[in-house]
Structure 1
Amino acid sequence: MAGQIIIVTGTSGSGKSTACELFAKRSQDFWLLFGIDHFLAGSFPAKYGHHGPLCAQGFQAVPVDEGDPDGALRWQFGEWGTRAFAAFHEWVAAASRAECNIIIDHLMLLDPPILQDCIWRLRDLPVTLVSLKPPYEVLMERIASRKMDKKMPTAEFADDDPVKRIIERLGRLRPWFYEASYANDINDLEIDTSQHDPEAVCEQIEARLSQGPGEAFAALRERYPR
């Protein structure tokens, strides 16, 4: 029997990492914990990330409007970005096929086609898709209160203030990230985390699991056939 898969999606500041960690901690069942934060921080080479010198081959931040190079940014994948996210999804599928439950935080973007890849690599497996979506204004308040305490790659900005440049770039990405993170409208659960704390989020996920595996991925495969 395949293990249950819970995918918790939402942009930075939505509470997805906190919810995943709490869910695994409070459950009496065995749950592996993984996700995009673990993947990008621990597995994906930083030099191929969007602050790195080889980002064009991995994933890079490019202008939303080519005519406005100093305006809003968006993600664009290169060859290794596409391959790496395919591997990420295969790792999740392998955990389920090994009869392990796994909960992951993710960004189920349509462009780049992260969601479309995921729904087919996890086909025939029990997946519950949960979207955490607080209002945009709440997200901006949460992000503004955060401190940059993670080690950031600085080689790309060696002749400048690297932290200042990275903060500026992330600020230009946020409007696109919010829109792109919630472009998909098919989920098994959508929760406003400005109205529900992490405990309440976990309770809602547990209640949905008690009804059986989610149905969103099957509907998404109909919408996005191969």
Structure 2
Amino acid sequence: MPGQIIIVSGTSGSGKSTTCELFAKRSEDFWLLYGVDHFMAGTFPAKFGHHGPRARDGVYAHPLDEADPEGPLRWSFGENGHRAFAAFHEWVASASREGCNIIVDHLTMMDPPLLQDCVSRLQGLPVLFVSLKPPFEVLMERVANRQMDKKLPTAELGADDPIRRIIERLSRLRPWFYGAVYANDCYDLQIDTEAHGPEVVCDLIERRLAEGPGTAFDQLQRRFTAGTTE
């Protein structure tokens, strides 16, 4: 029997990593824990990430409007970026096929086509698809508070501070991330994490699992096969 997969999607600050960690910790069942944060921080080579010198071959940030180079940014993938995320999704599928339950935090955007690839590679496996979505203003406040808590050690370098440049780039990415990650409207469970804390979020996921298999990925498979995201 394949193991249960839970995909928890949301932007930075939505609570997806906290939810996945708490869910696995408090469950009496065996749950593997993985996700995009583990993947980008510990598996994906930093020099091919969007702060690295070879980002164009991996995951790179560029202006949403090329006519406004100082404006909002978005992500795009080079060849290695597409390959790496395909491997990420195959790892999740392999865990399930080996009979392991696995809970995964993810950025299930459709452009680049991460959601489409994930749905295709997990076809035929039991997937519960969960979205964590607080209001945009709440996300921005949470992320700003995180930055203030970091006490940047090189702040005296001013505009030449590499950490400051990274934070500025992330700030320009956030509006696009919010729109891209939440562009999909098909989930098994959608939760406002302004209204519900991590314990309650885990309760809601457990209750939905008890109701039976998720159907969102099957619906999305039919949509994507038909060539539509509507």
Q: More deviation in 9-18 or 138-147? A: 138-147
- Name the one with the larger helix percent: 2
Give the match for residue 155 of structure 2.
none
Question: TM-score by structure 2 length?
Answer: 0.93
Per-residue CA deviation, residues 134-183 of structure 1 (Å, 9 max, x unaligned), is: 0000001100100475x9xxxxxxx9310111111001000000011100
Measured in 2, the distance between the counterparts of 1:196 and 1:161 equals: 37
Cross-structure match for 2:156: none
Letter in 2 for 1:112: P
Residue of structure 2 equivalent to 1:41: 41
Q: Give the structure 2 partner of residue 201 of structure 1.
A: 201
**Pairing of 1:77-156 with structure 2 (within 5 A):** 77-147=77-147
Q: Distance in 2 between matches of 1:200 and 1:6?
A: 16
Q: CA deviation at 1:122?
A: 0.2
Distance 1:191 1:222 in 2: 24
3-state secondary structure, aligned to 2:160: coil
TM-score by length of 1: 0.94
> Distance in 2 between the 1:137 and 1:160 partners?
29
For structure 2, the residue ranges without an aligned partner over 5 or more in a row are 153-158
- C-alpha separation between the residues in 2 aligned to 1:165 and 1:202? 36
User: Residue 76 of structure 1: CA displacement?
Assistant: 0.4
Superposed CA deviations along residues 94-119 of structure 1, whole A, max 9, x for unmatched, are 00000000000000000000000000
* Aligned AA (1:215): T
Structure-1 separation of matches of 2:144 and 2:174: 12
Distance between the aligned counterparts of 2:110 and 2:66, measured in 1?
20
Q: Return the alpha-carbon distance in structure 1 between the equivalents of residues 5 and 193 of structure 2.
A: 21
What is the Cα-based RMSD across aligned positions, in Å? 1.5
Aligned to 1:220: 220
For 2:213 and 2:125, locate their aligned partners in 1 and report how far apart those are by CA, in whole Å: 9
> Identity over the aligned pairs, expressed in percent?
68
Say how many residue pairs are matched. Answer: 219
CA distance in 2, matches of 1:118, 1:85: 9
Q: Runs ≥4 in structure 1, deviation > 4 angstroms? A: none
* Whole-angstrom distance in 1 between the partners of 2:125 and 2:212: 12
